[in-house]
Structure 1
């Protein structure tokens, strides 16, 4: 900030020396602050969002979900995030099931199958990676769902529980400071800490006089300015359902710093006011405070001085000079202690919009077309009756990836309401929400305790084997193969008779076969294999907050369960066997995720005769295939890199990415069901891949006789198998129960073309309108979250 210098020459000389020293000291402090931020946020951090097909489930249903992994620093999908763990817990934090999920180019999908003995109530699913164990903060995703067991007590629905009303005050900056103007946030919640739509709150002094009325929004948030006088007591009251609730306002600090931010009045500007009281000004003794605005390691740092006749400073920033998304404002003293803190949100561009329209109705389904205002989106879409009550307020993809990662406790917010359209009102409401939150990243940790990479970033599973053989294994190697697991690898044996194989993508219960080979010789072995990375314990397992709440009374009491759908008891129904003859040539995976831009082929008997191995078929379709001693190389026939190197395609087998092309060696074409290919597709990756090949294997290999290996091993706790969506069987979809809780369809793998277009087929359920819950992201990190209603003819 500005320095006022007297004009006398001799005084000027001494002041210049002092100013030089002070400036040098100030720059040193700024460098130290920047280094602290760089050290603390040096390691990569993943954020996860999970889109559930709905929020309330019956015990005879499954919880279906699609997950998205996000790279914090680049604001892009985290393409290399492979091992994701999911834990289902009850309302007491008891773990009911663990799963290892397969992350494929930034997304994953799966389900939890519910049990008929599960009681009604709230349940939680925590999604995390092993890498997240490195951090002090909890970087996992927590999803809350409600399960309804019609045979075991009624469930918890959306009605507030007013047996206890919480009034919380949040001074902007973190502390209430004596004898200066403070901006204070207020929030009103029920016993379960759910927002209450209270209309107003009041400040009452010791004489029982109302000195200020505070307006509250529908989420129970409000803000007000207040100048406390030390020694005077004030009370905050609010009226909820005709009952007055109150708390005592905390006493103000004798000295301190208060801040006030405004990012919604002046377009594209953020104005920050910093105030100190006289005692704080005296304690500073002319030393500066440091205004730090940062998003992770990216920061702008300014020094601020307060003179005896000036106890406030106003600083204005152009939003283009700040960072899109959550910014943390910190005020540090000369010893780098934090004295005030605030989080704000900088919106620079509106969210991506979309349109959905019905196009045609057939006997079996309704065809729907959609268009996103951005190309190549990766989407998940839940289809529910428009009057469903199976949806509760929940976090959307904006909240999970852009906002909640910075809050000390995950809050429920549908941020699309504020971010899809940039307006003064939306910016104000978002700022009001953040005024009542606190940063997850504590300055004392940033200053003193940077994280280290003690826990690995897992990519697939790791196999270690020990061969129990006293004979010489000189020049022997181990061959590991699995037709179902798409593996055919030969590895070296070390001097301890050990062998290792990393980055394996193995589904649960896959069988691995082992051969000890040397040239054409095979030897019987005793083997002790071990797989690691299959079950990682999270050191910050979620612990639900158990609120001691009385049962709701009066109008909010739950008198009866809403009407439930009539589901078919599949155990009690026997269908007649129907024999289907002939060979189907219809492509089953044509509409699967990632296949819209590929040409698909159903493998025929002619293909089996003409192309014995799948590598022959790949060569026929435009790639160069090189095979040498079991090593397979596949290259495009055009040069498309700066260095002039040949490009390689991305290859998937049953939607799992192939880490090594060697798995294709001697894979027979007759084992393949469908084959999809595009020689010229450019794939977002760090190694300039071009071309995509997707292979779908036959599920039944009984037509082939296979030799058993000397040693077999069945994978336990491997990746959860990905199965297509299977809807609950309903006796009727024309009931109020189906309208309340039923699911029409769930599409976790929807992609748009380059123009943002996509198509859907909705099953006909007799509904007049259908609600679509749509979320997703693009390869370059653009997010979308929309709710669309289609009115059917």
Structure 2
């Protein structure tokens, strides 16, 4: 109902605008508006934002977060009832997917960062709904989170890369410092290193650290290979037969500095004074400062300018259609470059725009004399669009070479606005993106009952939400962290304001998004306008809308978990009218469905936890033995490269040093017993005999590594768990390799066996982790019988649990082993229900055992204000003194979004 109401409001808004148009030929303009409205109604856009409890984490932490799902003008969405959150490693490998139930446009989640599934890395967090998967992934929620490790870590390192060019050959230098856990350098230690890119080994060598633990590696990329996916792997020989591997991605030196140009309106046109935005980026994707000179093809200097913010700058000049232009750039790292400006068009018309103040947008249309003479008196359209909604439209006649006007900003909601100049035939001629801010966000304030607290003292926070001066019903989330142990750079944060108003509507990486919202000044607004000139804004083009060439809808909005399939006779024909029963035995849950004329059936609006065993049976039919149940698979968006890869931290150890030191204290304080040495006879090594399986004949009974089945407890996907648990093995493009051989350039896959049968790696996703006895890893095949037979290198053997010899099994157990066509057993993806955040309670006068070194002091994802706009929270401070930082974010029922930060002291 809310969706229809919102669409009706938007339609009324457009109807109010239309009478102001010129009454000349408006057929094309009406067509644009009507087709855009039709698109909006058939494909409303959802947005997802995740509020996390803190900016970075450590192994054994728990990530706490809340998902806000909106549509339209940021109202809580009723389209989808499921949000997905993917956690992806820096090598673009999916580690885990969470499925979260949505209620009133919100969902909560938690992710324990337990090893070995998680390790020190930069993780790409991607959040979306299936409905959003119909559109470009660039508009998903994307965030990079760094996870460090200080537990039982024997080596910390810091690396600095430098790129140069010598004799047209790219040169890369790496300076690496190695330290032990106490900060002492590893001096005079041998280090083996190898650089690999895809299936190619670029270089390798052996060096020695100096008296400060410093190692310098220089190599030449003589084959000019793409280093974007390359890694440098070093192996430090610490002595006593102890070796430690470190892996460093080479993305930051993959390419030289680059400069891009963005003429306002989209083109340079001869004799029209134009503004050109400039974006200079380093190979790591971050902006870099520069100074530049513009010259023409004769070498004459036209103008000079400097960067303004984060590698962004701009200059103004009047181009000549008969000339070409270069921009000569001096970067802050001392390098130089010369870059061609886009070709100057001989004739045309341009749109320029700027937000002169909070109340109006100034626009100017300028045509050169040739264009004006050929189209004088013709009709043009100016369209202003926010999201999918045309909020402003006007029709003009070209009666002079230059035309200017003001558009009231009140026509648009706060956020990104696309202004388009269009011909009367529906062809976009020039465009400009601007940002409108009404300062109409949800007003949030936080107050504490005391300015300063003691350790383990109760803290009371009161929260107020207002719409201007009126109390607001708001759905909020509250995080309180120890900022002394977790320093925060507020400019780099992704907030509910920066995402919903900015990032979610623009393509491309935005550096330091909260910089534009944290402290709004004339400079930040000018910098934001530069950003508008350089970022893409193209959910749908007007050409696509007018031609009707809109990508088809593949995914419908999900209202709950849905399992679908087809019921067929054994000869393959669809079976109509068959009754199917779904059951979850350990939950006493059941449902019923009937197949249609094509044999298709579905069980809609299901609700069960992840890893639940689900049975779909057609046994209730009179001819059940001649029927087979075929379940449909579930499609998910492909794992794409992290669009925010510039946010990846190369030196996690040093970037998170304060936090990791605190984590180490927590770990050490939890160890009650000191380490002692126990002398006894070594237990007899367990061996596995493979003679039961002919395919494994000749394989050693002693594997290089064994993963016991109990280590897979809590694992949802065998393949996902193995890629982090399997020591000495690497997974690339769903193929297992012996890691050392892969890094040395030998790209021969490992053989994978389940119950003695060779299987494809994708088969592992269908295995039930609870049924696995052990996983054996053979990094070498001594006799070579398996490797020669299957043309592989290394063997992965998965042994399932079996009953002891002589054990009798029932008929039901035998049928379970053999399987029945009329019964489908599966463990489909289910809901990942969030844990409850633990809040310790201290009693005055008592001494609770153990230090309290928490860094996330409090987390509440469900803070609801009352009719007076009030809410409150109570919790206890920890043992660490310092500054505590409370962050409140959320949305009210009308779609107003808000955020506030509050700090208090603990002494």
Tell whether 2:57 aligns with 1:57. Answer: yes
For the pair 1:350 / 2:449, whether they are aligned, the reply is no
2:96 maps to 97
Shift of the alpha carbon at 1:718?
Answer: 0.8
Q: Following superposition of structure 1 onto structure 2, how do residues 148-547 of structure 1 map, counting pairs within 5 Å?
A: 148-149=148-149, 151=153, 154=157, 164-196=256-288, 198=289, 201-204=292-295, 211-214=302-305, 216-230=307-321, 231-241=323-333, 243-244=335-336, 246-265=338-357, 267-284=358-375, 286-295=377-386, 296-307=388-399, 310-359=400-449, 364-374=456-466, 375-387=472-484, 388-389=486-487, 393-415=492-514, 418=516, 427-441=525-539, 442-448=541-547, 449-463=549-563, 487=589, 500-510=602-612, 535-538=634-637, 541-544=639-642
CA distance in 1, matches of 2:314, 2:105: 39
Q: Is the 8 A contact 2:442 2:897 kept in 1?
A: yes
Q: Distance in 1 between matches of 2:118 and 2:617?
A: 45
Q: Are residue 717 (structure 1) and residue 837 (structure 2) matched?
A: no
Alignment map for 1:688-703 (pairs within 5 Å): none
Q: Deviations over 1:679-718 (max 9, x none)?
A: xxxxxxxxxxxxxxxxxxxxxxxxxxxxxxx999674311
Counterpart-to-counterpart distance in 1, 2:619 and 2:29? 63
1:98-128 per-residue CA deviation (whole Å, 9 max, x = no partner) reads 2222222211122334334756443212222
The alpha-carbon deviation at position 166 of structure 1 amounts to 3.3
**Aligned counterparts of 1:132 and 1:234: Cα–Cα separation in 2:** 41
Distance between the aligned counterparts of 1:433 and 1:299, measured in 2? 22
1: distance between equivalents of 2:459 and 2:91? 44
Distance 1:283 1:720 in 2: 64
CA separation of 1:252/1:366 partners in 2, compared to 1, >3 Å: closer, same or farther? farther
* CA gap 1:787/1:209 in 2 versus in 1, 3 angstroms: farther
Shift in Å, 1:270 = 1.0
Structure 1 residues 169 and 225 mapped into 2: Cα distance closer, same or farther (>3 Å)?
same
Question: What is the number of equivalent residue pairs in this alignment?
Answer: 615
Contact 2:568 2:629 in 1 (8 A): no
Match of 2:863 among 734, 750, 754: 750
Query: What SS does the aligned partner of 1:130 have?
Result: coil
CA RMSD of aligned residues (A): 4.7
- In structure 2, do the counterparts of structure 1 residues 124 and 136 end up closer, same or farther at CA, with 3 Å as the change threshold? closer
8 Å contact kept, 2:139–2:506: no
Q: How far did residue 253 of structure 1 move?
A: 2.0
Change (3 A) 1:322 1:106: closer
Q: CA deviation at 1:499?
A: 6.9
**CA apart distance, 1:180:** 0.9
After TM superposition, the structure 1 = structure 2 runs for residues 646-685 of structure 1, keeping only pairs within 5 Å, are none
Note the alpha carbon deviations across 1:99-158, whole angstroms, 9 max, x for none: 222222211122334334756443212222222233357432112112334557747999
Shift of 1:792: 3.1
1: CA distance between counterparts of 2:290 and 2:601?
68
1: CA distance between counterparts of 2:521 and 2:49? 26
CA distance in 1, matches of 2:294, 2:906: 52
The residue aligned with 2:897 is: 783
SS at match of 2:131: helix
Shift of 1:277: 1.7
* 1:364–1:528 CA distance, 2 compared to 1 (3 A): farther
* Counterparts of 1:570 and 1:229, CA distance in 2: 71
What is the distance in 1 between the residues matched to 2:60 and 2:524? 40
Q: Residue 99 of structure 1 aligns to a residue in which SS?
A: strand
Do the aligned partners of 1:172 and 1:260 also contact (CA within 8 Å) in 2?
Answer: yes
Secondary structure of the structure 2 residue equivalent to 1:264: strand
Distance (whole Å) between structure 2 residues aligned to residue 400 and residue 284 of structure 1: 42
In the superposition, relative to structure 1, how do residues 304 and 526 fare at CA in structure 2: closer, same or farther (>3 Å)?
A: same
Q: Is the 8 A contact 1:185 1:221 kept in 2?
A: yes
Contact 1:203 1:213 in 2 (8 A): yes
Cα displacement (A) at 1:752: 2.6
Are residue 34 (structure 1) and residue 33 (structure 2) matched? Answer: yes
Query: Which of 649, 657, 662 is matched with 1:562 structurally?
Result: 657
Contact 1:221-1:432 at 8 Å conserved across structures: yes
Question: Unaligned 5+ residue runs, structure 1?
Answer: 1-22, 519-523, 576-709
Q: After superposing the two structures, state which structure 1 stretch, 456-465 or 175-184, moved more.
A: 456-465
Q: CA deviation at 1:48?
A: 0.7
SS where residue 194 of structure 1 aligns? coil
Deviation at residue 169 of structure 1 after TM alignment: 2.2
Q: TM-score, structure 2 length as denominator?
A: 0.59
Shift of 1:384: 2.3
Corresponding residue for 1:107?
A: 106
User: Partners in 2 of 1:169 and 1:394 — Cα distance?
Assistant: 27
SS of 1:372 mapped into structure 2: strand
Equivalent pair of 1:199/1:220 in contact (CA under 8 Å):
yes
Aligned equivalents of 1:542, 1:562: Cα separation in 2: 31
Would the alpha carbon gap of residues 391 and 747 (structure 1) be closer, same or farther in structure 2, given more than 3 Å must change? farther
Aligned mates of 1:444, 1:305 — CA distance in 2? 22
Q: Tell me if the contact between 1:399 and 1:413 (Cα under 8 Å) persists in the aligned partners.
A: no
- 1:586-625 matched pairs, under 5 angstroms: none
- TM-aligned CA deviation for residue 84 of structure 1: 1.8
CA contact (8 A) 2:465 2:473 kept: no
**Counterpart Cα distance in 1 of 2:161 and 2:873:** 34
Task: Tell me how far apart the structure 2 counterparts of residues 50 and 156 of structure 1 sit (CA, whole Å).
Answer: 31
- Change in 2 beyond 3 A, CA 1:436/1:727: farther
1:352–1:373 CA contact under 8 A, matched in 2: yes
Q: From 840, 863, 882, give the equivalent of 1:768.
A: 882
What is the DSSP-based 3-state SS (H/G/I as helix, E as strand, rest coil) of the residue aligned with 1:399?
A: helix
Q: CA deviation at 1:363?
A: 7.0
**Shift of the alpha carbon at 1:492?**
6.8
- Give a deviation string over 1:553-585, Cα, whole Å, max 9, x none: xxx99989735234455999589xxxxxxxxxx
TM (norm. structure 1) is 0.66
1:447 Cα offset (Å)? 3.0
Distance 2:142 2:346 in 1: 40
* CA gap 1:749/1:384 in 2 versus in 1, 3 angstroms: same
Task: Please give the alpha-carbon distance, in whole angstroms, between the structure 2 residues aligned to 1:330 and 1:240.
Answer: 36
Structure 1 CA distance for aligned equivalents of residues 892 and 324 of structure 2: 55
Deviation per residue, 1:367-417 (Å, 9 max, x gap): 1313233333222233222242466713211232222232122524545x6
**Pairwise CA distance, 1:345:** 2.0
1:722-741 alignment, distance < 5 Å: 722-725=834-837
Cα distance in structure 1, aligned partners of 2:640 and 2:535: 20
2: CA distance, partners of 1:548 / 1:397:
20
Q: Distance in 2 between matches of 1:30 and 1:716?
A: 49
Three-state SS of the structure 1 residue aligned to 2:28 is: helix
1:418–1:69 Cα change, 3 Å: same
Conserved? CA contact 1:353–1:420, under 8 Å: no
Alignment partner, residue 144 of structure 1: 144
State whether residues 478 and 886 of structure 2, in contact with CA within 8 Å, keep that contact through their aligned partners in structure 1: yes
Distance 1:147 1:486, change over 3 A: same
Bigger mean CA offset, 745-754 vs 199-208 = 199-208
